[in-house]
Amino acid sequence: MRRVSANRPLRRVRFSRRATLLGATCAALFALAVPELAGAAALSDQNRDGVIDVADIVLFSQSELGQDWQTVDWCEWLQTPRRRERHLQQLLDFIDEYFRCDQGNPFAIRDANVHPTRLTWSADAKKIFVTDSKIGSVFIYDSLATPIGELKDLAKPLGVAVNSQGDIYVGDNHSNAVEVYNSEGSRIATIGAATLKMPNDLAFDQNGRLYVADSKRNLVEVFDPASGASLRTFGSGELRFPSALAISGQEVFVADQSNFLVRVYDLQGNLLRSFGGKVTQGFMNYNWHGKFARLQSLAVDSAGRLHALDSHMGVIQILSAADGSFIASYGSNGSAPGELDLPLDIDINQYGEAAVANTRNRRVELLTPP
């Protein structure tokens, strides 16, 4: 619990008047100077005195929480997703710094997930790891899609995968490498810095080898995670902007976005088959089954069916993994619960539940496929 501690003098002060609240020691040690307060910033400066300090926490606690500020566990309070409102961001940042919340929990939530980009279920289906390429974080959700953690201060994270030991592999489009973090949030390795250009999607095969869809190089590269060594590449000369991949058994399914195709390879990178095609007109009035406008992501369920997410149509098609024939579809474009707007990724756990990065709606969507 991070309530007021007796070993921090400022927290022992009893505030009865504004003059006491705005004491020089408080301002000098813990104030965040705000030269011009207007709009959103003014909401953080609760007493409109030009600085954001403990006095604002006191007033906020009284007016919004109805509690004495010294009885609130502020670090726990910051973990509540709805508390991360942007219009109070400066006050929230001050609370975070003053109570040193990050020091006790490396995954303490600091930001809101505004641009869910790529995601993956953990092996036990208890967590969902979601990159945000705009915020520069990997957000961790529980199985009900409630945020419970944040791996912060990354550059531009795209693809994400988690191995059986809980290590988090993140394809970063700024460092052009796969960065590896352990379960404590420490970076322990960097893979592919010499070759990768845009590590857009990541996946492990049954032997633990790491496959990376490199969208700029128009190929897939395979790595040994233990050594970081590149084992092989494939798809060069066939793929145009490979946006995603999914591995099922001995086969690798690659979303060949600019060719409007699904390419299927064996684990050695030999092309086995291709299927799909382009939706050339508005999909509402044409037969779009088994065809794509912008093939963004792929996943294979426990029954061996291929789920193909189209970010332009806002729909997920269920296709035969053998020949791409249409089976069913789910999802529809919109902002209401269950609806999708610019979805960028999908992953399906062993129980058949689909997690979708519902990007323009700024949330993770949990769907039950037909």
Q: What is the pLDDT of residues 33-54, one digit of tens each?
A: 444 444 556 688 999 998 998 8
Q: What is the pLDDT of residues 95-106, one digit of tens each?
A: 877 776 766 678
Is residue 155 included in any domain, yes or no?
Answer: yes
pLDDT of residue 94: 85
Residues 186 and 138 in one domain: yes
Give the number of domains in the chain.
2
Domain carrying residue 347: 116-367
Residues 273 and 188 in one domain: yes
Instruction: Decide: 309 and 297 in contact? Cβ < 8 Å.
Output: yes
Is residue 215 included in any domain, yes or no?
Answer: yes
List 222's β-bridge partners, or say none: 211, 232
The percent of residues above 90 in pLDDT, for the chain, comes to: 68
Distance of alpha carbon 314 from the chain centroid: 19
pLDDT at 84 over 80: no
Is residue 179 included in any domain, yes or no?
Answer: yes
Residue whose pair of structure tokens reads 């990354």 in the numeric block: 154
* Banded pLDDT at 86 (limits 50, 70, 90): low
Residues 24 and 161 in one domain: no
pLDDT at 16 over 60: no
Q: What is the pLDDT of residues 192-223, one digit of tens each?
A: 999 999 999 999 999 999 999 999 999 999 99
**Residue 278, CA distances (Å) to 28, 219, 225, 296, 357 in order:** 63, 21, 36, 13, 23
Is residue 213 included in any domain, yes or no?
Answer: yes
Residues 65 and 195 in one domain: no
pLDDT at 254 over 90: yes
Is residue 297 included in any domain, yes or no?
Answer: yes
Length of the chain (residues): 370
* Banded pLDDT at 1 (limits 50, 70, 90): very low
DSSP string for residues in 91-131: HHHHHHHHTTHHHH-TT---S---SEEEEEE-TTSSEEEEE
Say what the pTM is: 0.75
Q: Report, as an integer, the average pLDDT of 9-18.
A: 33
Q: Report, as an integer, the average pLDDT of 232-240.
A: 98
> What is the C-alpha separation between 361 and 339, in angstroms, rounded?
9
pLDDT at 28 over 80: no
Is residue 2 included in any domain, yes or no?
Answer: no
The percent of residues above 70 in pLDDT, for the chain, comes to: 84
Residues 342 and 215 in one domain: yes
Residues 180 and 99 in one domain: no
Residues 37 and 156 in one domain: no
Residues 72 and 133 in one domain: no
> What is the C-alpha separation between 246 and 213, in angstroms, rounded?
10
Residues 227 and 178 in one domain: yes
**Domain edge (last residue) among 57, 84, 104:** 104
Residues 138 and 93 in one domain: no
Residues 169 and 235 in one domain: yes
What is the pLDDT of the chain when averaged over all its residues?
87
Residues 186 and 320 in one domain: yes
Domain containing residue 349: CATH number: 2.120.10.30
> What is the C-alpha separation between 356 and 299, in angstroms, rounded?
11
Is residue 298 included in any domain, yes or no?
Answer: yes
Is residue 111 included in any domain, yes or no?
Answer: no
pLDDT at 75 over 90: no
pLDDT of residue 285: 62
State the amino acid at position 291 in one-letter form. Answer: K
How far apart are the two ends of the chain, measured CA to CA in Å?
A: 44
